[in-house]
């Protein structure tokens, strides 16, 4: 650490529930940068974790890798949005408004996934039918427009 940096960042130990707190007093808003690996390993997308947040049992909750990927293991709440594994909902139970077009997962008819009844309500786009949307009724894939079974 250079002399210039010692005047901008202070490290405080044992503050409340935190073991270490970094305080950034830099007026330019400089943040914290963690660099791991070499340009060669980063370019090949090797999985080098540069930041890991874990609980007292050493279970990772959140990992940032050197290739920019973020791995998250548990539930997250951002404002009113609650994300848990593969579902997104609002804490207030209000509808979620998407501000951009969505792209449904695309399948040719012969490669539609065989799903269990638990996946009823799933929606896909049928690639070889001009991307017509279809939903899974718990038994069959059906087109939205007329409930006809996708064959």
42 and 8 in one domain? Answer: no
Alpha-carbon Rg for the chain, nearest whole angstrom, is 24
The answer, as to whether pTM is greater than 0.85, is no
Whether 82 and 130 map to the same domain: the answer is no
Measured CA to CA in angstroms, residue 127 lies from 89, 101, 111, 114, 120 at distances of 28, 17, 10, 17, 20
Host domain of residue 111? 106-143
Residue 14 in domain: yes
Q: For CA atoms 20, 25, 26, 31, give the dihedral sign.
A: positive
> What digits encode the pLDDT tens for the residues 73-104?
666 677 788 777 677 888 888 888 888 999 99
Per-residue b or e along 66-92, where b marks 16 or more CB atoms closer than 10 Å to that residue's CB: beeeeeeeeeeeeeeeeeeeeeeeeee
pLDDT by residue (tens digit) across 10-58? 666 666 666 667 666 666 656 666 666 666 655 555 656 677 777 777 6
Do 66 and 85 fall within a single domain?
A: yes
Q: How many domains does the chain have?
A: 3
- Residue 26 shares a structural domain with residue 70: no
Residue 150, domain member (yes or no): no
């Amino acid at each position: 650490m250079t002399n210039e940096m010692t005047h901008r960042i202070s490290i405080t130990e044992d503050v409340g529930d935190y073991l270490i707190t970094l305080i950034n007093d830099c007026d330019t808003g400089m943040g914290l940068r963690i660099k791991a690996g070499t340009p060669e390993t980063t370019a090949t997308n090797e999985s080098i974790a540069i930041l890991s947040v874990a609980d007292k049992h050493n279970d990772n909750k959140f990992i940032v890798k050197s290739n920019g990927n973020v791995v998250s293991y548990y539930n997250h709440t951002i404002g009113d949005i609650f994300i848990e594994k593969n579902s997104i909902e609002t804490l207030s139970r209000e509808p979620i408004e998407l501000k951009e077009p969505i792209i449904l997962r695309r399948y040719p008819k012969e490669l539609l996934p065989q799903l269990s009844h638990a996946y009823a309500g799933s929606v896909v786009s049928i690639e070889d039918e001009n991307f017509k949307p279809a939903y899974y009724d718990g038994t069959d894939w059906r087109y939205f427009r007329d409930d006809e079974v996708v064959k």
